Structure 1
Amino acid sequence: MNILEKNIQALASGTNEPLALKLNDFLKNQKCTRFSLDENLNIFDLKNQVFMYNDVNQEIDYFKNAILEKTLRYPFVCIYGIGNALLLKSLISFYKHIFIFESEIELFILALSVIDLSEELSNGKIYLVDINEKKVNIQLSILFDQKDMFGWLSLYEMFINCSYYEKYFKELIEKSDNMAYDVINLVVRNLNPGSTIALMCYDNFIQNIPLILKSIPFQRIIQERKNQFENCIVVCAGPSLEKQIPLLKKYQENFVIFCADGAFSLLYKNDIIPDYILNLDLEEYPIEFFKNIDINKLEKTLFILAQSTHPSVVNFLKKNNISIVLDEDAIYKNLNLFDFGYLEVGTHVGHMCYTLALALGFKNIIIIGQDLAYNDKGNSHFGDFVLGKDVDLALNIPSLKTLAYGGVKEVLTHIGWDDYRKKLEILFVNNAQANFYNATEGGARIAFTKELSFKECCLKFANHKKKTLEIPKTLTSNRSNKLFKKSIEILKQDLHIINQTLEDAKILYNALEKILLNEDKLPLNFYYNVYKNIENFDSFLKNSSLNNRNLKGVLFFRDFELSKIIALKIQEEEKYLLLVIKVYKNWLILLMEKLNIQKESLEKII
């Protein structure tokens, strides 16, 4: 196996399979016609009749030193242009991750023919980013959201491989730079360390455990209903929903209907009974969606609730057929409640509808009411929406323009919807086994869906009436009680870990405070030892069960504050380490505050 084959195999192992496939396809069907490599590893551009490097070694040394000077202590670096890969190879030992952005398939091939990068490509040390890949934004979102990346993204800067790229690829460099910034904003926007959302989710989950164990096990729903149907409709509560009601009512017997909780009142008012009604809200207000309903009309309807649904909502609905599904996050999988299954519930109820439809094996998923934008009257929801048709306006979320349904005009949306749309696009592109038909006929355009009118969708897929399925049974009381006792034991272990972490954090905090209060100058080796203790505590957190969604914003804040110190590019080790100690000491206060809140939640049930 030659060097190129070895590198492509490493790419295909998971770091970048689309690029590996693209390279193999090129090698089978084409030859390099624009770029060539000489014996000195200089690249000749036949189109512009110019060599990439004036002097290979001299220019690589220059850009290597220039990049290192500007990225002292940086954990990662982004570079436009792979060149002959010599600059990349010379920088490997200085960073945890290197991202190489490139547009030319021939340059990828030439570079990967020169140097064996297979180990670094396999272990994620090096990421090659093909900016012409249609899913590149999604790839970057996943890469930048890694545990050892998202906290350092404020250090992002796009560097260049050599002067050649700056001269001939200026527009593509700017395009890549803007794309990276957009992805970074998406990744970090909701990582506010002061946010209480993650801990509210956890507290609701803890309170819901007894009801989870008495609800219909989600896994039974999957086992009994998977692949029973191919076609479904997901109904969301956007302002366009009202115009789709007549067709939905006409064809409701031909499709399985997944209904976002906010849309239910409009469907119920029009005698449309969904097969599934979903909710994941942390607060009590969704109770308003379900008041004054005849429970007998919903005897064949399943309410699928998230583990974080507010306990008051769960209690309000418990006389119905409810199933409480656990999120795929590690913090919930820790309980090993496999009877109740796991689902990627996302942050919006629509997302949860799509993942449920996918879990049930639907092949054609029709979407209505998913506007993700204001209509021309400024409404965010349909006219009779219980909380008000213009409820989002009162939230004062920053607005922006985005491409409209149909791809011609623009519509007004807001940051929350725009982020949600991008996350949906990631979900859709990663589930190519299903067809997503956007029949909203309004609102924002959603990539990786097929836009088709609702009427055309109904005519295309309403082949026959759906059969009625039985409601799965709950667990026996005996089985439920055993699982509850087992859960309590696991939660006791979690509480023990939190208490131990709090104790260790307090000891470390006191030690750091004592050092900072000491007016005597201490030896550099002493500061190194203190820094080692900080690294050991970080390592413990990284490998602990506490490293989950509950603390993601807190861990982000730690790295964000440390990034500020790194950005100062302090040469003196003593000064740098003292600032790290100060920042870390202050961060420990935030960590202990959040852990104590989680501890209080656990103590409610133990």
Structure 2
Amino acid sequence: MTMLQNNLELLKKRYPDIYNEIKDVHVNSNTYHIVENSEGQKTLKVTQSLYGENKSFFLHSKYHPDIEAERFAQEQYKPEFSVHILYGFGLGYHLEKIAGLLGPDSRLYVVENNLMVFRSALENMDLVSILENPCISLIVSKDVVHISKRVRRLMDDNYNKFNFITHPASLKAIPDENEYFKFVMENWNLKKSLTDDYDNTLHNNASENLKLNSPNAGILFDKFKNVPIIIVSTGPSLEKNIDLLKEAKDRALIISAGSALRPLLMRNIVPDFFAIIDPQKETYNQIKGYENIGIPLIYLATAASYTISHYLGPKLVAYYGKYNDGSEYVVDSGGSVATTILDIAIKMGGNPIILVGQDLAYVDGKNHAQHGSHASIYTQELKNMRRVKGQNGEILYTSFGYLSYKYWIENRIEKEQRIFINATEGGAYIEGMKHIKLRDVISDYLKKSFNFEEEIKSILKESGNQYV
């Protein structure tokens, strides 16, 4: 019996569903190629074509895959957890090393979405120790819905008390048609990298901001039903239509990201609110010189306390996640100031909700508009970045962070029964939104005038805001 036959027999015995899905898979030798080192150890070279460019990488070290696997296992295994969920089967090197560290009551669940990678392992590696190990369970399928349900069930059953491990090279090998699944796995890996220092910064900011006794931003919820709301960010396309926002004043409620405050005020465009969520002290540059302008500030509970305390105008605090004041009014921040404002705008009742300056991609090599609190950033490393479809069908470079915000927006608006418009006039295409030029939005959707200043004053006064 060949090694492949033996592996398949063991697979059929213990994992019949996986066997049925993998038994007729043929590995594309142009994409997946086995390479051996001088000692006969194998690795898998993966060649992917992305937007006309071929790029190759190895799933394991082509020189010392066993040493690399040992180092990976030592770094990723956490003995305080009894349940470990690993994305990435690879050729199995790192699985064997992690299995050697498992206690008698520990379990390792291995998730793999690329059937050709798994088939390559079956064809080239003796996997008996993995396939027969009662402490190892495989979740292998090209069906990401099936995988997601299984993993979610594991998470729920273990009350989030588990160690989630991602094998970086295996993430890169997730098939292109499962781009969103790849993003979810990468995002999990990114979240794990948050440092204790960052968590401490959030906690310290929240403690200091609590002393301000600001009203909850929830006082705005449902107060602007069917009122047009414009969210202004500082993507590079903001320069194309920022001046048109003068015509939108008092015809739509304008909420500005803190980084867009200066570009707006320099043009004598006064937003109705602005928002700051970043925990870093550098956000003070967003309000420097404008500390007493009187525009209501919406800030996240963990935003930079130095900046928030130095702003002298009306302030509303938005609570989220574990940073919650115990009330029913909480927001889903989504990770960026624009996503936070979008969630708030939805809860305010806005309709339509219009994005301006939300490129979510690099346009002509830059990611911020001129004169914003962020300097325009030009990069020579675009070829190492992710790519995304632009509004005109073009391919644009984007960062992992921008991609996460794009997906968050698409998921957040998916079930909302209202109109969402992307009037950015550049950047990434956002599913679920109408893409309309701002001039046309103003003429077609902003036909009514409002006295937002008096309405906002009334809401703030009712809340007992000390600045009114």
Structure-2-length-normalised TM-score: 0.64
Provide closer, same or farther for how the CA distance between residues 439 and 358 of structure 1 changes in structure 2, counting only shifts above 3 A.
same
For residues 179 and 331 of structure 2, what CA distance do their matches in structure 1 show?
33
- Asked which structure has the greater RCO (Cα within 8 Å, sep 6+), the reply is 1
Tell me how far apart the structure 2 counterparts of residues 255 and 244 of structure 1 sit (CA, whole Å): 15
Q: 1:307 aligns with which of 281, 298, 301?
A: 301
Match of 1:324 among 317, 328, 342: 317
Q: Is 2:146 the counterpart of 1:128?
A: yes
Q: Deviation of residue 191 (structure 1)?
A: 1.8
Name the SS of the counterpart of 2:211 in structure 1.
helix
Cα distance in 2, alignment partners of residues 307 and 197 from structure 1: 15
Offset at residue 313 of structure 1 (A): 0.9
The residue that corresponds to 1:384 in the other structure is 371
SS of the equivalent of 1:219 reads helix
- Deviation of 1:259 (Å): 0.6
Q: CA deviation at 1:315?
A: 1.2
Q: Which amino acid aligns with 1:151?
A: F
Q: In the TM superposition, what are the counterparts of 1:276-425 in structure 2 within 5 Å? A: 276-293=273-290, 295=292, 298=294, 301-317=295-311, 319-327=312-320, 329=321, 331-333=322-324, 335-336=325-326, 338=327, 341-376=329-364, 378-390=365-377, 393=379, 399-425=384-410
Which amino acid is the alignment partner of residue 108 of structure 2? Y
1:289 and 1:77, CA in 2 relative to 1: closer, same or farther beyond 3 A? closer
2: CA distance, partners of 1:59 / 1:347: 42
Question: 1:415, CA displacement in angstroms?
Answer: 2.7
Determine if contact 2:334/2:405 at 8 Å carries over to the other structure: no
Does the Cα contact within 8 Å between 2:216 and 2:319 map onto a contact in 1?
no
Deviations 1:105-150 (A, max 9, x none): xxxxxxxxxxxxxxxxxxxxxx636xxxxxx9xx999889873677
> 1:194/1:58 Cα in 2 relative to 1: closer, same or farther (>3 Å)?
closer
Change (3 A) 1:257 1:99: farther
Deviations 1:214-235 (A, max 9, x none): x223232326x252x4311110
Given that residues 144 and 187 in structure 1 are in contact (C-alpha distance below 8 angstroms), is that contact kept between their aligned partners in structure 2? no
2:23 corresponding residue in structure 1:
none
Q: What CA distance in whole angstroms lies between the structure 2 residues aligned with 1:261 and 1:143?
A: 40
Structure 1 residues 153, 374: closer, same or farther in 2, change over 3 A?
closer
Please, which of 417, 432, 448 is the counterpart of residue 433 of structure 1?
Answer: 417
Query: Counterpart in 1 of 2:202?
Result: 201
1:509-544 C-alpha deviation (Å, 9 max, x unpaired) = xxxxxxxxxxxxxxxxxxxxxxxxxxxxxxxxxxxx
1:473 to partner: Cα distance? 3.3
Residue 86 of structure 2 aligns with which residue?
Answer: none
CA apart distance, 1:370: 0.6
Name the SS of the counterpart of 1:246 in structure 2: helix
Q: 1:373 to 1:410 in 2, by over 3 A?
A: same
Report if aligned partners of 2:257, 2:338 keep a CA contact under 8 Å in 1: yes
| Corresponding position of 1:448 | 432
Structure (1 or 2) with the greater helix fraction: 1
Tell me which structure has the larger Cα radius of gyration: 1
Q: Quick one: structure 1 residues 144 and 151, their matched pair in 2 at CA, closer, same or farther if it must change by over 3 Å?
A: same
Q: What is the distance in 2 between the residues matched to 1:366 and 1:150? A: 40
The offset of 1:182, in angstroms, is 4.0
Encode CA deviations 1:150-171: one digit per residue, 9 max, x unaligned. 714449989xxxxxxxxxxxxx
Q: What is the correspondence of 1:14-93 to structure 2 with a 5 Å cutoff?
A: 60-61=12-13, 63-64=15-16, 73-75=107-109, 77-78=111-112
What's the CA shift for 1:266? 1.1
Closer, same or farther: CA 316–277 of 1 in aligned 2, 3 Å: same
Whole-angstrom distance in 2 between the partners of 1:294 and 1:178:
43
Sort the Cα spacing of 1:440 and 1:178 in 2 relative to 1 into closer, same or farther, 3 A.
Answer: closer
TM-score normalised per structure 1:
0.50
User: Which region of structure 1 is more displaced relative to structure 2, 259-268 or 62-71?
Assistant: 62-71
Q: What does residue range 254-273 of structure 1 map to in structure 2 within 5 Å?
A: 254-273=251-270
Cα displacement string for residues 467-504 of structure 1 (whole angstroms, at most 9, x for unaligned residues): 33124237679xxxxxxxxxxxxxxxxxxxxxxxxxxx
Q: CA deviation at 1:257?
A: 0.8
Structure 1 residue 355, shift from structure 2 partner: 0.5
Aligned to 2:238: 241
For 1:314 and 1:463, the matched residues in 2 are separated by 35
Instruction: Quote the offset at 1:465 in angstroms.
Output: 0.5
Partner deviation per Cα, 1:318-368 (whole Å, 9 max, x = no partner): x211011111x1x223x52x28x3111232101111001011111311111
Q: What root-mean-square deviation, in Å, do the aligned CA atoms of Structure 1 and Structure 2 show?
A: 4.1
Report the Cα distance in structure 2 between the residues aligned to 1:62 and 1:75, rounded to whole angstroms: 14
Structure 1 residues without counterparts, runs of 5 or longer: 1-56, 82-90, 104-126, 130-135, 159-172, 478-606
Q: Is the 8 A contact 1:140 1:180 kept in 2?
A: no
Q: 1:207 to 1:96 in 2, by over 3 A?
A: farther
Deviation at 1:448, TM superposition (A): 2.6
Name 2:103's counterpart in structure 1.
none
Alpha-carbon distance in structure 2 between the residues aligned to 1:128 and 1:66: 12
CA contact (8 A) 1:238 1:371 kept: yes
Take 2:247 and 2:386, find their aligned partners in 1: how far apart are those partners?
A: 35
Secondary structure of 1:309's aligned partner: coil
- Please give the alpha-carbon distance, in whole angstroms, between the structure 1 residues aligned to 2:368 and 2:464: 41
Give 1:185's aligned residue.
186
CA separation of 1:238/1:142 partners in 2, compared to 1, >3 Å: closer, same or farther? farther
C-alpha distance in 2 between matches for 1:191 and 1:266 = 35
CA distance in 2 between partners of 1:141 and 1:253 (Å): 48
Measured after TM superposition, the shift of residue 440 of structure 1 is 0.7
Kindly indicate whether the alpha-carbon contact (under 8 Å) linking 1:262 and 1:385 is maintained by their aligned counterparts in 2: yes
**Counterparts of 1:265 and 1:144 in 2: how far apart (Å)?**
48
| CA distance 1:102–1:374, shift in 2 (3 Å) | closer
Cα deviation for residue 459 of structure 1 reads: 1.8
| Aligned residues of 1:402 and 1:444 also touching (Cα < 8 A) | no
Instruction: Specify the code of the residue in structure 1 equivalent to 2:409.
Output: L
| Distance change >3 Å, CA 195–CA 238, structure 1 → 2 | farther
Aligned match of 2:164: 151
Answer whether contact 1:365 1:437 (CA < 8 A) is retained.
yes
Q: How far is 1:201 from its partner?
A: 0.9
- Between structures 1 and 2, the one with greater strand share: 2
Report the residue type matching 2:391 in the other structure. Answer: G
- 3-state secondary structure, aligned to 1:437: strand
- Deviations for 1:290-329, whole angstroms, at most 9, x for unmatched residues? 2333845x3xx32100111111111111x211011111x1
- 1:63 Cα deviation from its structure 2 partner: 5.0
Answer whether contact 2:255 2:275 (CA < 8 A) is retained: yes
Counterpart AA for 2:210: I
